[in-house]
Structure 1
């Protein structure tokens, strides 16, 4: 359930240790703003009404949203809050650069093939296997199901570089068909998945599994510092491979064990609106997902949450609040491992201007996603931009800490 938005940027550098690698991250430009520039939001602006609550709840649920069926991962590419993050990798010898989303909600690495036939590939960097002296044919076809259709490709193997870190014999996919308009509009080239092996559609080790097996990182840990808001210039965050950066957070890291090693799935104790534990009162499962812009949850819970904060659904499946009421909106708190992580209204609402109108969109969205542990929530970038997040493959746990310089939106 993602519309990934990207700005191409090629600055990467390493820290003083070759086994601890920093990848600066950039936010992507809002796809909604691109659509607005192309005049494609006219229907939304004409149809939006303050009394939209009379619409049936079924209309609030976006078709093709993220789902889990038969153990396979299906996602919709979409953006909501200018909060998707990307960095630069290279493949092949000599190096060919690609912008990728570092996605904890999937496992595979793929980039467009030179032979891709989709319109989306024409405006993106494409991998030229014939130019790489270290390339090996994988010889297998793979497919990844997205909301707009099935991405198809062929498997390959080559040298992967992230910053100054080199991973040999990395299995990846070359996409030859990318479905839907979202891939055309987005400016990212591919995706580098960082979830657990069972989610993989491409045979072989994932990128981080290879980093661990080839001992190119100090620890089997990676961490994210993601900056929210509307800042311009400079990096918008950082992915650190091999450990954590104590300069970016304060206090201890609070750990929550992974409950199912597919996604980075953990137990959430409850969700409270203005201190009232009204949602998920007996605990529920949630995914920590850097590749999802929003915070998402089961329809009944998300509709209840929006009613409590006074939000109105739109025909596009998004929710808006009166911008005048922003300072008086209640806080929303997520309790993980007994620790409270509170979001103020300014942190879960984004303002956007359309012509002479200002609209305030919430950062919450409905999603019906079921695992063996029950219905799932997703803690995406709306949540992750407010806390330092750590993903520990050695002990299968996720950690959160307070940012040393809190993100102000």
Structure 2
């Protein structure tokens, strides 16, 4: 998970579908045999959480079922125990309800606890959890890994949504956070090292014979309700939703910050991509795709001509666990200057806001020479997701500046596209939702 935030409301970075995933005919590089495998992919539902701040996935952990945050920006899977101690940001103990934790795991590890290993992870806004590691049978969308490593958490600072129990990471093994020893205060990647292990998706590929990819498609906020089905996850294939042409970009091996794991320059860590650029304009047939914006005829006409793309060379993380998109500062500032009226900077929240009835231009991310357009409703976050709690006439923008890498393509972008992580070819495929 990148910065686990829903802007002013932090959500620590987040029913099975009957129909099977279709053969992805637009992904023409796949062999007939591989396309047949993908057509047999295992689908699952994702749940819409906290007005669109994140998404959850139901898992079976041993004999119990839990909803965990679906997070492509981290790699560990963890659940809280009934003995879990909750602390505040000042490290003082507070009632466990203050951590917003859903159902706790009371059964322990049926496959046994891993000796002399502890789990310890800190997320982008300071949330952290610590606990023990062990083995358990885990099932998602009909795919079972009989001996999956996971963590049971007994201590932490967490700002949860009261619906999800914990978090399930879908990124690479390099980012996992199991450390040698039993004292979390001594954990240090550069000094003590880390004991990497396979996240669920990699064990599903290696042990359960799943095709080496997974894809997801999230529903629009305006079409979703909290804790209800809000999209599809396809393990081993492509979600069964209408979409346009596919485009792809390679996953990069990059150390994104000085705090990156030492091995980050040699191994895959995050789902890091480098978009070609960004365009601030109205897409073709915008009125058909997006009728929810506060548009006028004059503003439509003024914005109808395509604008040149702003080139990009910055790496970005594809992160379903981050609510908004964090763009290079020059792009985010340019976008904020083009809203009507121009956006204001909220110094306390460190974000751009506009009147909730403002007009906002559309924005695309250019990948593989193809423009992928945001939904307009995700560029102006009205309602409880983005409304300023102190001045409800102002709402947050769905794209915000980041001072430096890692930049993030978060939920506000991912709701507009179908996304497929091709782990066999180390690419990510995108197609515009229709």
TM, length-normalised to structure 2: 0.70
The change in CA–CA distance for 1:348 and 1:145 in structure 2 (over 3 A counts) is same
Q: Which of the residues 166, 173, 188 maps onto 1:197?
A: 173
The alpha-carbon deviation at position 149 of structure 1 amounts to 4.2
Aligned length: 333
The alpha-carbon deviation at position 150 of structure 1 amounts to 3.0
Q: Which of the residues 106, 110, 114 maps onto 2:78?
A: 110
The change in CA–CA distance for 1:114 and 1:242 in structure 2 (over 3 A counts) is same
For the pair 1:363 / 2:331, whether they are aligned, the reply is no
The alpha-carbon deviation at position 360 of structure 1 amounts to 3.1
For the pair 1:207 / 2:238, whether they are aligned, the reply is no
For the pair 1:96 / 2:64, whether they are aligned, the reply is yes
The alpha-carbon deviation at position 390 of structure 1 amounts to 0.6
CA RMSD of aligned residues (A): 2.7
1:101-145 deviation per Cα after TM superposition (whole angstroms, max 9, x unaligned): 121101111111233122256852222235x6x331112112111
Q: Of Structure 1 and Structure 2, which has the larger fraction of its residues in strand? A: 1
Indicate conservation of the 8 Å contact 2:143/2:208, yes or no. no
1:364-385 deviation per Cα after TM superposition (whole angstroms, max 9, x unaligned): 123345xxxxx33211111111
Q: Which of the residues 253, 275, 284 maps onto 2:314?
A: 284
The alpha-carbon deviation at position 186 of structure 1 amounts to 4.2
The change in CA–CA distance for 1:306 and 1:278 in structure 2 (over 3 A counts) is farther
Q: Which of the residues 419, 422, 432 maps onto 1:392?
A: 422
TM, length-normalised to structure 1: 0.74
Q: Mapping of 1:200-349 within 5 angstroms?
A: 200-202=176-178, 203-217=196-210, 219-232=211-224, 235-245=229-239, 247-260=240-253, 261-274=268-281, 275-277=306-308, 279=310, 281-309=311-339, 310-314=342-346, 315-326=348-359, 329-343=360-374, 345-349=376-380
Q: Mapping of 1:130-169 within 5 angstroms?
A: 130=108, 134-139=110-115, 140-146=117-123, 147-169=125-147
CA distance in 2, matches of 1:87, 1:296: 24
Which SS does the other structure have where 1:395 is aligned?
Answer: coil
1:341-380 deviation per Cα after TM superposition (whole angstroms, max 9, x unaligned): 12364341122267995433210123345xxxxx332111
For the pair 1:179 / 2:209, whether they are aligned, the reply is no
The change in CA–CA distance for 1:169 and 1:341 in structure 2 (over 3 A counts) is same
The alpha-carbon deviation at position 178 of structure 1 amounts to 1.9
CA distance in 1, matches of 2:140, 2:401: 34
2:16 alignment partner in structure 1? 12
The change in CA–CA distance for 1:401 and 1:165 in structure 2 (over 3 A counts) is same
For the pair 1:351 / 2:382, whether they are aligned, the reply is yes
CA distance in 1, matches of 2:329, 2:70: 27
The alpha-carbon deviation at position 332 of structure 1 amounts to 1.5
1:65 alignment partner in structure 2? none
The change in CA–CA distance for 1:344 and 1:263 in structure 2 (over 3 A counts) is same
1:45 alignment partner in structure 2? none
Which SS does the other structure have where 2:145 is aligned?
Answer: strand
CA distance in 2, matches of 1:356, 1:105: 31
Unaligned runs of 5+ in 2: 22-38, 87-95, 179-195, 254-267, 282-305
CA distance in 2, matches of 1:399, 1:213: 22
Which SS does the other structure have where 2:400 is aligned?
Answer: strand
The alpha-carbon deviation at position 277 of structure 1 amounts to 4.5
Indicate conservation of the 8 Å contact 1:89/1:97, yes or no. yes
The alpha-carbon deviation at position 269 of structure 1 amounts to 0.9
Indicate conservation of the 8 Å contact 1:330/1:344, yes or no. no
The change in CA–CA distance for 1:211 and 1:347 in structure 2 (over 3 A counts) is same
CA distance in 2, matches of 1:285, 1:122: 32
Indicate conservation of the 8 Å contact 1:108/1:200, yes or no. yes
CA distance in 2, matches of 1:287, 1:355: 31
The alpha-carbon deviation at position 205 of structure 1 amounts to 1.2
